[in-house]
């Protein structure tokens, strides 16, 4: 499989998930190396868990950081582990904006505007023009560290209600300057980050977006298609399609089993029908029949699998008949990959 003239051994990516295996310093630990070693043996690429770009905007106290050069050596070890198994390593870079964890001392809450999350949390401060440049540079600095660490690609988060999405949405962007108002202005913050990253590093950049935010007034599939058309002109390498918003539609964000299976794949299909870019689709890919559905329906070029690879590290290997045994199923219950992650524990499936 090919993406930006880069060859992958197959079309399966492990999606970015939060392990909870870190420490308060944001360092790579032995548990990280063991976890990703086990899960990079059969996939084409691993999208590592979201890396914070500023310690003051963490989502978890155990989150991995890419905010300082002293972390590069640890990331090099992680990349080497993934590469030794034949998979590509993708650095997922994100800023949560107003969704920084309110329980972490020292965290700050920044957004396009001072619009508080409907489900609670800290009221954010609207970024001033000078602060916008500082935050954008944090993205760039993290991308440079990713390249120095040996990562093959970058995935940049434009969706799920995080900071760039907070600029994109008229619900959370009430600005009256060059970053607010029109569609073009609301997209400008994210596009400038993309420009600056592409100017600073030579790595391909994947953009992750919500195909639909799934709440009244949120970004729709039509909005997502319009965004992708711009991203295509900016020579983005691929589009990774998810759904939901961490603040307003968390059941879609978490892909809970209440969400109709296949609904997110269909969003990927709509986008694939409207772009020449490679499309990565996913969301509740928990059994072989799901893979067949996505590919038979031509809904995506690549498939991102997250929780199924937590429940069974050999999920892809068994699907490809490289590993014997019955697939250990993921029930999309969220008990382990959400409820226990704050305790540094994982999936309850054994």
CA distances from 331 to 173, 254, 334 (A): 36, 13, 8
Instruction: Report the half-sphere exposure of 209 (CA within 13 A, side-chain side).
Output: 31
> Residue 9 is inside which H or E element, if any?
none
Looking up tokens 């950049």 gives 205
Of 111, 88, 89, residue with least CA distance to 98: 111
Pairing type for strands 2-3 and 6-7 reads: antiparallel
Closest CA to 245 of 127, 154, 164, 138: 164
Nearest to 203 by CA among 280, 91, 49: 91
Of 162, 179, 253, 319, the active-site residue reads 162
Which whole-number Å values give the CA distances from 255 to 222, 267, 288, in the listed order?
A: 21, 14, 18
Cα 325 from Cα 342, distance rounded (Å): 31
Q: Which helix (H) or strand (E) holds 54?
A: none
Is 139 in the active site? no
The catalytic residues are 162
């Amino acid at each position: 499989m090919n993406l930006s003239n880069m060859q992958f051994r197959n079309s399966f990516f492990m999606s970015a998930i939060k392990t909870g295996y870190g420490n308060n310093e944001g360092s790579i630990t032995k548990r990280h190396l063991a976890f990703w070693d086990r899960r990079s043996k059969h996939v084409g690429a691993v999208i590592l868990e979201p890396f914070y770009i500023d310690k003051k905007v963490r989502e978890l106290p155990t989150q991995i950081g890419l905010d300082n050069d002293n972390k590069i050596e640890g990331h090099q070890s992680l990349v080497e582990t993934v590469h030794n198994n034949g998979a590509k390593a993708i650095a997922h870079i994100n800023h949560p904006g107003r969704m920084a964890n309110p329980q972490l001392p020292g965290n700050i809450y920044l957004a396009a505007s001072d619009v508080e999350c409907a489900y609670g949390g800290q009221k954010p401060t609207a970024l001033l023009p000078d602060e916008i440049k500082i935050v954008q540079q944090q993205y760039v600095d993290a991308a440079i560290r990713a390249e120095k660490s040996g990562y093959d690609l970058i995935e940049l988060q434009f969706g799920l209600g995080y900071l760039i999405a907070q600029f994109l949405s008229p619900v959370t962007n009430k600005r009256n300057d060059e970053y607010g108002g029109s569609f073009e202005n609301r997209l400008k913050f994210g596009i400038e980050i993309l420009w600056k990253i592409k100017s600073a590093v030579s790595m391909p950049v994947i953009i992750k977006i919500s195909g639909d935010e799934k709440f009244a007034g949120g970004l729709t599939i039509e909005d997502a298609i319009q965004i992708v058309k711009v991203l295509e002109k900016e020579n983005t390498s691929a589009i990774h399609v998810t759904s939901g918003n961490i603040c307003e539609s968390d059941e879609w964000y978490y892909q809970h089993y209440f969400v109709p299976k296949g609904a997110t794949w269909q969003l990927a299909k709509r986008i694939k029908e409207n772009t020449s870019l490679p499309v990565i689709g996913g969301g509740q890919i928990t059994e072989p029949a799901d893979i067949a559905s996505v590919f038979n329906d031509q809904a995506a070029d690549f498939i991102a699998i997250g929780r199924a690879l937590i429940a069974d590290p050999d999920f892809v290997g068994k699907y490809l008949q490289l590993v014997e045994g019955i697939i250990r199923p993921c029930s999309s219950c969220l008990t382990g990959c959400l409820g226990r992650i704050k305790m540094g524990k994982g999936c309850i499936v054994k």
